Structure 1
Amino acid sequence: MGEETHAATETEETLLTLQGQANIWNYMFSFADSMALKSAVELRIPDIIHRHGEPISLTQILAGISDASSPDITCLARIIRLLVRRKIFSAHQASDGGDTLYGLTHSSRWLLSESPSGSEPSLSPMVLMENHAWATAPWHYLSQCVREGGFAFKKAHGREIWEFASENSEFNKLFNDGMACTAKIVMSAIISGYKDGFESVGSLVDVGGGTGETVCEIVKSYPHIKCINFDLPHVVATASKCEGVTHVGGDMFQAIPKADAVFMKWVMHDWSDENCVKILKKCKEALAEERGKVIIVDFVLKPEGDGIFDDTAFVFDLLMIAHASGGRERTELEWKKILQEAGFPRYNIITVKALPSIIEAYPI
C-alpha cells in the first residue's frame, strides 16, 4: 500500500512538473497569439468572411485580400489554424467533403471594421495600436524599470507617451483611434448601466476625453447635458464636431473647466498616486461650490476575483508600467486612500458589463 501511494505521488509530481514546463513554453510564446491576431486584422480576414455572409474557404479568403501581390496560402492557413485553436475563427468541413470552411465566432465579430450601419463596435483599432512596434517596444524594459526605476516608454523612445504622440502624427492617430474604439464599447455599457447617474447632471466635463467620442455618446442619450471635452491641445485639435459638445484644450494639472460633474474614463490609471491626488483636487475645484460629483471609470482590482474581466485588469496594470508615467490599476482600498487625500470622503463603486467599473466620488 505504501509503495503504491509513493508511486502515485511520484506520478502526480511528474505530471505537475511536466505541466509546469508546458506553462512556461506557452507563456514564452504567448506573444504569437497577439501577432496572429494583428495579422488577421491587417489582412481584414473578419471583414472578408463577413462580406460573404457564411463560412468560406482559404482560397476565398485569399482572393478577398485586395493588396496581396504574391499571396502565400500556406502561410495564411497556418495563421488561421492557430486562431481557430484560440477560438477566434471557427472551422468545419464543407458538406460536400471539400475544403475546410472558416467562419466568425463571438470573438472575431469584435474585429469587424465593416458593418451595414457602421455602428457595430470593433476592437480592431486597439489591436493595431497595442501591437504596433512603437507600443510593444516599452515592454522590453520592464526588468530595467525594476532595477533602476523610471518609465518604460521613455526608456524605449526617449520621451513619455504624451510627448511622443504630440510629435508623431502617425502614432497620435493610432493612439486616438484605439482610445476611440474602446470609448464606444465602454460607453455603451456605462450608459446602459449608469442611467440614474446622468439624469441629474446639468453640465459635465470629460477630462482626458481624447477626440470626444465619450461625451458624444453621453449627449446622444442625455441631450439635456451641456458637455465639455477637455484634453491636451494637440488631441482636441483632431476632434470632430458634435452637437452639444464644446472641445477645450488645456492641462488638467493647471485647471479644469467648471461643471456639475467631472467625468474621467481611463485617466487616473495613467498616473501615480501623488499625481492622481493633484488631479482630483483640480476636479474638486471644478465642481460648483463643491456640489456634484466626480465619475471615474477605471479598473477596481480584485486580487482573488474570478470575474470575466478580472484577469485582464492585472494585464492592464502591467500595461501601465509599459506605457504610463507612473500609472497603475488600483484595489478598492487604494482608491479610497487617494480619494480621501484629495478631499473626497464618500464614494460608491458600481459594476457594469465592461472592463472597468464606475467610481462615484463626492466632496461632501
Structure 2
Amino acid sequence: MELDEASQRLRGQADIWKFMLSFADAMALRCAVELRIPDIINSHGGPVSLSQIASAIPDTSTSPDISCLDRIMRLLVRRNIFTAQPSSDGSGDTSSTTLYGLTHSSRWLLSDDQLTLAPLLLMQTHPWLMAPWHCFSRCVKEGGIAFEKTHGREIWDFASQNQEFNKLFNDGMACTAKIVLNAILSEYKDGFGCLGSLVDVGGGTGGAISEIVKSHPQIKGINFDLPHVVATAPAYPGVSHVGGDMFESIPNADAVFMKVKLTINYSFITC
C-alpha cells in the first residue's frame, strides 16, 4: 500500500535521524574494544554481570561508571553485538540482574583471537582516520584528498613520520590479511604448489606472505612494501622483507601476489 505524503515525510525524518546518529554504533563498538569487554566475557567462559565486567576493565585508577557502562551495553545488545539474559540474584527476582554474553559478531572483537577485526576497528575509528571525513565538502569545492587536507600530507608520508599511526595502520591491515589468507588457503589449496618464489606487493608487515609460506614451505617469500613499513616487520621463516616503491620496481619472483586490502571507508578519504 502506497504511503500518503505525511507518512512518507515521517519516514524520511526517521531515515535522517538514523543516518545522523549511526556514528554512535561505531563509537560504542570502539568503546567495547578499548575496555576489552569481549575479552572479559570470554575469559569468564560464559555470560557475566555489569559489575563483573566493570571489575575486570584494565588500567582503571577509579571505579568505572556502572550507569554509563549499562547504557553502552544496552545499545550493543540492541545491535546484536552482545546477548543479555536475566539471572536470579537469589531473591527470586530474575529481572534484577542481567548477564551479558558473546555473539558471533562480538567474537570477531576478541583481541587474542587469530582471526580478529579489533585492530581494524580501532584503526578505522581513530581520530586520525575519522577527521578526514569532515573534509568532504572541501574536497568537492576544491578537489584534492581528504586525508591530505586534514593532516597536511599524504597518508604514507604521515605514517613514515608518525610511529604510532604507522603501527595502528599496519596492525589494522595485518588483521584483514589473516582473515583473507585463511579463506584463500582453505579453498585454493593447490594454487601455490607450482611456485618456487612469490612476492607480496604492498604486503605490509608480512603476515599474508608468511601464511602462504607456512602452508607451502617450498616457496621463497618476499614481502615488499615501503621502507618505513618493512622496518617494523617481524621475522618470519622463509620470508625476506624488501623495502621500495612499487611504482619504480618490484623484486623478481615466479609470481606476484596483490590483495585488495583497502576498505571503502579508507579509499574514500585517501584517494
- TM-score w.r.t. length of structure 1: 0.70
**Contact 1:90/1:102 (CA < 8 Å) preserved in 2?**
yes
1:183 aligns with 2:130: no
1:149 Cα deviation from its structure 2 partner: 1.1
Check 1:318–1:66 CA distance in 2 against 1; reply closer, same or farther (3 A cut): closer
Query: Residues 171-210 of structure 1: CA distance to partner in whole angstroms, max 9, x if unpaired?
Result: 0110111111111111101111222322222211000101
1:234 aligns with 2:213: no
Counterpart of 1:76?
A: 69
**Contact 1:153/1:159 (CA < 8 Å) preserved in 2?**
yes
Question: Which letter maps to 2:47?
Answer: P
Larger RCO (CA within 8 A; separation ≥ 6): 2
1:156 aligns with 2:150: yes
1:27 aligns with 2:16: no
Partners of 1:248 and 1:71 in 2: CA distance: 46
Query: Residues 10-57 of structure 1: CA distance to partner in whole angstroms, max 9, x if unpaired?
Result: x54433322221111010111110100000000000000001001011
Please give the residue correspondences for 1:46-85 in structure 2 after superposition, counting only pairs within 5 Å.
Answer: 46-68=38-60, 69-85=62-78
Q: Structure 2, unaligned stretches of length 5 or more?
A: none
Partners of 2:64 and 2:265 in 1: CA distance: 37
Query: Residues 105-154 of structure 1: CA distance to partner in whole angstroms, max 9, x if unpaired?
Result: 00000000135xxxx31111111111111110111111211222111000
Partners of 2:238 and 2:245 in 1: CA distance: 22
Partners of 1:76 and 1:38 in 2: CA distance: 13
Counterpart of 2:99?
A: 101
Partners of 2:33 and 2:11 in 1: CA distance: 32
Say which is worse superposed, 195-204 or 78-87, in terms of deviation: 195-204
Query: Residues 202-255 of structure 1: CA distance to partner in whole angstroms, max 9, x if unpaired?
Result: 211000101100101101111111110001111111111111111111111111
**Equivalent of 1:41 in 28, 33, 36:** 33
**Equivalent of 1:133 in 127, 146, 164:** 127
Counterpart of 2:118?
A: 124
1:317 Cα deviation from its structure 2 partner: 3.3
Please give the residue correspondences for 1:201-350 in structure 2 after superposition, counting only pairs within 5 Å.
Answer: 201-266=195-260, 316-322=263-269, 324=270, 326=271
Partners of 1:195 and 1:66 in 2: CA distance: 41
**Equivalent of 2:82 in 79, 83, 89:** 89
**Equivalent of 1:167 in 158, 161, 171:** 161
Query: Residues 315-342 of structure 1: CA distance to partner in whole angstroms, max 9, x if unpaired?
Result: x4353121x2x3xxxxxxxxxxxxxxxx
1:111 aligns with 2:104: no
Q: Structure 1, unaligned stretches of length 5 or more?
A: 1-7, 270-315, 327-364
Query: Residues 271-322 of structure 1: CA distance to partner in whole angstroms, max 9, x if unpaired?
Result: xxxxxxxxxxxxxxxxxxxxxxxxxxxxxxxxxxxxxxxxxxxxx4353121
> CA-atom RMSD, angstroms?
1.5
Question: Which letter maps to 2:214?
Answer: K
2:48 partner SS: coil
Counterpart of 1:15?
A: 7
**Contact 1:202/1:224 (CA < 8 Å) preserved in 2?**
yes
Partners of 1:317 and 1:113 in 2: CA distance: 23
Residue-pair matches, total: 265
Question: Which letter maps to 1:317?
Answer: I
Percent identical pairs in the alignment equals 64
Counterpart of 1:352?
A: none
**Contact 1:87/1:107 (CA < 8 Å) preserved in 2?**
yes
